[in-house]
Chains A and B, each alone.
Chain A
């Protein structure tokens, strides 16, 4: 496919990545204190309880900041520049670094509503991207 980097999964994050392959964004919620965390950990980074459960996330969030990439930081992205790197504050709380698709660089706005999409990276790995949430 491409020579783009493949996410190097760990035992703690396998369920996140299997969710991406299944078309859903998954986040961990702490049953003890309610904290929502990303990336995944065996324990809650809020209260250290070993009582986190996976839930399907809304996949929605808001643009916290962005910057247009003209010189990619890894191989495989040369044909995609310019693209919009973005920090998305998920509705559930955590922030993700990602890339915003289907939006011209000059059209991005602070607080813009976005929704997750998944792009295939290799046979079994899908990577979460975002696109503008329109019409809701």
Chain B
């Protein structure tokens, strides 16, 4: 038996906390604040929530986080799940929510994430936490941080396809340009390719400005069946397709250093949606480091494999270009709140499809893609969303 989830559910509420340095706010609190804002946006009360999906924050983790959080919120769901797929978590959560609603397990799912790794942890605590995802026998004993894993993948892409440091830098420059148009973004001052190349090398070939921010913040969405989508005050955004790909956890076990499982998650999502990359009005890709965005744009089919470096040049991924990428500023310039990071790519996609993006609105946006990645180019999840006109 196969159920097509295309058009089956819609996002009818969203919430975003402030991002950046939020001293005095804990991760559970941020998770709850995002949820409160999403409930307000959807015009419903917490009593209507019967499905809950959270992710485990770093600062206030709990083995059974979603259960703990439902207790905190005093909600009593029939569907309750903590997901841990790093930056892929948010979109895998949307797929789980759609599946639960379509199969009648629940009706109204709250997906909420929050964390405050920027101000809730010391640098040493952050470093120690990051190593917990590394292989304790075959990676950790070398003292090699995750950032250098991305550095090795970037170097392999440069060697194999001729991608340049300037092209990597262009991803950061374009992200900052979009962030400059977004009042909610953490870093809004324009930068140049020279600024990126002159920033310190942190894990060669990656410069400091090739790396994402490290932030506090939280976000949430509320998902219901499509037939209920018009019962809420704001314009609904419909689920058109979703796909995942999981190839490895640790980089030394990767099938490829330069082609990611986005090459499977993307086609799975596009097939479900009955659409292709050429149909997208925008793409929010996972830009924890600049080369990752380039690899994903290739693997998702926005350009041919190996041509991502050239593709990101000449304003091609900016507003008005072939495919506006990370219209909110991405992890590079909006915020990177850890596991919740991709939530802001999702809420931005809802904003774009509602047409409320202000100065950064993609004119006439009807359909868009959002992509998340966890681990070190490990877990990939692709979601395609559209307006009612795309059903």
When chains A and B are docked, how far (Å) is the Cα of A38 from the Cα of B141?
16
Is A43 among interface residues, defined by CB-CB distance under 8 A?
A: no
Q: How far is the CA of A110 from the CA of B127 in the complex (A)?
A: 29
On whether the beta carbons of B143 and A65 are closer than 8 Å, the reply is: no
Instruction: Check if A64 is an interface residue, CB within 8 A of chain B.
Output: yes
Residue numbers of B with Cβ under 8 A of A are: 127, 130-131, 134-149, 151-156, 159, 201-206, 250-254, 257
CB within 8 A of B141: which of A7, A39, A68, A71?
A7
> Do the beta carbons of A65 and B153 come within 8 Å of each other?
yes
Contact B142 A99 (CB under 8 A): yes
Say which residue of A67, A95, A127 sits within 8 Å of B155 (CB atoms): A67
Q: Are B136 and A87 in contact (CB under 8 A)?
A: no
CB pair A4–B141 under 8 Å, yes or no, is yes
Contact flags (1/0) for A76-108 with B, using CB distance below 8 Å? 110010000111000000011111000001000
Sorted nearest first, the 9 A-B pairs with minimum C-beta distance are: A73-B145, A67-B151, A77-B143, A65-B152, A85-B144, A97-B252, A72-B143, A67-B148, A65-B156
**Complex formed: what's the CA distance from A69 to B228 in Å?**
53
Cα–Cα, bound, A105→B151 (Å): 14
Among the listed A70, A71, A97, A121, which residue makes an inter-chain contact with B251, where contact means beta carbons less than 8 Å apart?
A97
Q: Which residue of A lies closest to B201 (CB)?
A: A70
- Some 23 contacts from A to B, beta carbons below 8 A apart, are A4-B141, A5-B140, A7-B137, A7-B138, A65-B155, A66-B152, A67-B155, A68-B204, A73-B134, A73-B146, A77-B143, A85-B148, A86-B152, A87-B152, A87-B251, A87-B257, A96-B252, A97-B142, A97-B251, A97-B252, A98-B142, A110-B159, A127-B141
Task: Using A67-B151, A87-B251 as known contacts, list a sample of 13 further A-B pairs with CB atoms less than 8 Å apart, ordered by residue number in A.
Answer: A5-B136, A7-B137, A13-B137, A67-B203, A67-B206, A73-B143, A73-B146, A74-B140, A85-B148, A97-B138, A97-B142, A99-B144, A127-B141
Asked, given contacts A65-B159, A95-B252, whether A85 binds B142 with beta carbons under 8 Å apart, the answer is yes
Hey, which chain A residues are within 8 Å of B136, CB to CB? 5, 7-8
Collect the chain B residues with CB atoms within 8 Å of residue A95's CB. Answer: 252-254
Q: For B139, what are the chain A residues with a Cβ–Cβ distance below 8 Å?
A: 97
In the complex, A96 Cα to B252 Cα: how many Å?
6
User: Which residues of the other chain, A, contact B257 by a CB distance below 8 angstroms?
Assistant: 64-65, 87
For A16, give the chain B residue with the smallest CB separation. B137
Residue of B nearest to A105 (CB): B204
**A interface residues, tally (CB under 8 Å):** 37
Q: How many A-B pairs with Cβ below 8 Å? A: 112
A96: which B residues are within 8 A, CB to CB?
A: 138, 252
Residue A6 CB within 8 A of the other chain: yes
Query: Are B127 and A67 in contact, CB atoms less than 8 angstroms apart?
Result: no
Contact A4 B251 (CB under 8 A): no
Contact residues in A for B204 (Cβ distance below 8 Å): 67-68, 105
Chain B residues with Cβ below 8 Å from A17 are 137
| Closest A residue, CB atoms, query B203 | A67
B137 touches A8 (CB 8 A): yes
In the docked arrangement, what's the CA distance between A17 and B345, Å?
44
Cβ of A80 to closest chain B Cβ, rounded Å: 8
Find chain B residues with CB under 8 A from A87 CB. 152, 251-252, 257
Q: Taking the nearest CB of chain B, how far is it from the CB of A38, in angstroms?
A: 8
A64 contacts which chain B residues (CB < 8 A)?
156, 257
Complex Cα distance, B138 from A95, in Å, reads: 11
Interface residue from A5, A39, A69, A98 paired with B145 (Cβ < 8 Å):
A69
* Distance A6 CA – B139 CA, assembled complex (angstroms): 11
What residues on B are CB-neighbors of A66 within 8 Å? 152, 155
Asked if A124 lies at the interface with its beta carbon under 8 angstroms from chain B, I say no
Partner of B152, one of A10, A67, A76: A67
Q: How far is the CA of A127 from the CA of B143 in the complex (A)?
A: 12
Q: Are A71 and B156 in contact (CB under 8 A)?
A: no
Q: How far is the CA of A14 from the CA of B142 in the complex (A)?
A: 18
What distance in Å separates the Cβ of A91 from its nearest Cβ neighbour in chain B? 16
